[in-house]
Amino acid sequence: IGTSGLSAPELSQLRKSSEERGVPALYIPNFAIGAVLMMKFASEAAKYMPECEIIELHHEKKADAPSGTATRTAELIAAHRLRRPDKGRSDMIRVEGVRGGAIGETPIHSVRLPGLLAHQMVIFGGTGEVLTIRHDSMDRSSFMGGVLFALRAFQGREGLIVGLESLLN
């Protein structure tokens, strides 16, 4: 299954169906290998730079916000942080919701506009420095390498495989 936005109960049902039938299943929210590497790099950076925010930009017809990739990135960052991020100043917020939503203490900002396909930045801030990890899919052909890789790496697997990163390791 190549989509994002499946809920935890839906994934649980997919896992159960796969096990009951003895048929392996793939759930890959993002087939872009570069996006998966971006998530991996961001989770590593979070160990040393816990203050970060995610900005994700997609075409205006994208159904979910935040994207599955942004959600998974925030989850990975939360799992790999060695310390909690500073809260910052909340007294400066003049418009409710302007800081975006948050997953695991990582603010996420979602943009939906014509002319975009799929883009994400994870911006880490430290004393006197900023690290930006960015991935851009300019064309849907960027997903083909991951599709082909997943089909080859999937051979001989059992149960439900979640995420292309599970096959890269």
pLDDT score, position 57? 98
pLDDT, tens digit, 9 for 90 and up, residues 135-160: 999 999 999 999 999 999 988 899 99
pLDDT score, position 93? 73
Query: Following DSSP, what letter does each residue of 89-123 receive, concatenated?
Result: -STT--STTTT-EEETTEEEEEEE-TT--EEEEEE
pTM for the predicted model, two decimal places: 0.87
- Looking at domain 8-86+96-168, its CATH class is alpha beta
Catalytic residues: 58, 62
pLDDT, tens digit, 9 for 90 and up, residues 74-125: 999 999 998 888 876 566 677 887 878 999 899 999 999 999 999 999 999 9
Mean pLDDT, rounded, of the chain: 91
Query: Residues 6 or more apart from 149 whose CB is under 8 A from it?
Result: 33, 164, 167
Q: Where are the domains of the chain?
A: 8-86+96-168
pLDDT score, position 4? 75
pLDDT score, position 89? 59
